[in-house]
């Protein structure tokens, strides 16, 4: 009886994980695969997801990200804004807002551009005023 309960619990957990993986948008899946493979510097594998790179030696390593906005599709291009936690080459972690531009390349959506949005001059991180 106990064994059946354990099997059912594990089965339920696997179903939940599978449904979460399926519920991720195609943009999220592509970004996740790109950021996982980017530190390898393997251009063949990275080329499956992007025409750009994200070099761990200069850009850092994205540890986690959340999609905050998906722009409209315009002439086979769309921008996806993400909030990312990036491990810097010096070992510190920072939060970055980045925009990934997706474009259709040979019928597939690939990341064709990736740029960092500068921190606002009025954001808490760069403001010299003490927090309230």
Q: What are the structural domains of the chain?
A: 25-117 (3.10.450.540)
- What mean pLDDT is reported for the chain? 82
Mean pLDDT of 90-101: 96
Q: Write down the pLDDT at residue 81.
A: 98
Question: Whole-angstrom Cα distance, residue 85 to residue 81?
Answer: 13
Mean pLDDT of 84-113: 96
> Which of 66, 73, 67, 62 minimizes the C-alpha distance to 34?
62
Other C-beta atoms lying within 10 Å of the C-beta of residue 77: 15
Average pLDDT score over residue span 15-21: 43
Mean pLDDT computed over 62-91:
96
Grouping H, G, I as helix, E, B as strand and the rest as coil, residue 120 is coil
Can you spell out the DSSP letters for 76-113?
TEEEEEEEEEEE-TTS-EEEEEEEEEEEEETTEEEEEE
- Length reported for the chain: 132
Q: Which of 131, 25, 130, 16 is nearest to 70 (CA)?
A: 25
């Amino acid at each position: 009886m106990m064994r059946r309960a354990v099997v059912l619990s594990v089965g339920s957990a696997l179903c939940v994980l599978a449904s979460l993986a399926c519920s991720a948008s195609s943009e999220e899946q592509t970004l996740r695969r790109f950021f996982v493979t980017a530190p390898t510097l393997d251009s063949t594998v990275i080329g499956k997801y992007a025409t750009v790179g994200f070099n761990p030696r200069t850009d850092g390593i994205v540890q986690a990200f959340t999609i905050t906005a998906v722009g409209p599709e315009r002439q086979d291009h769309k921008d996806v804004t993400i909030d990312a936690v990036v491990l810097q080459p010096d070992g510190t972690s920072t939060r970055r807002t980045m925009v990934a531009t997706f474009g259709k390349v040979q019928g597939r959506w690939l990341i064709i551009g990736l740029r960092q949005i500068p921190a606002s001059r009025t954001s808490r991180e760069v403001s010299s005023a003490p927090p309230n």
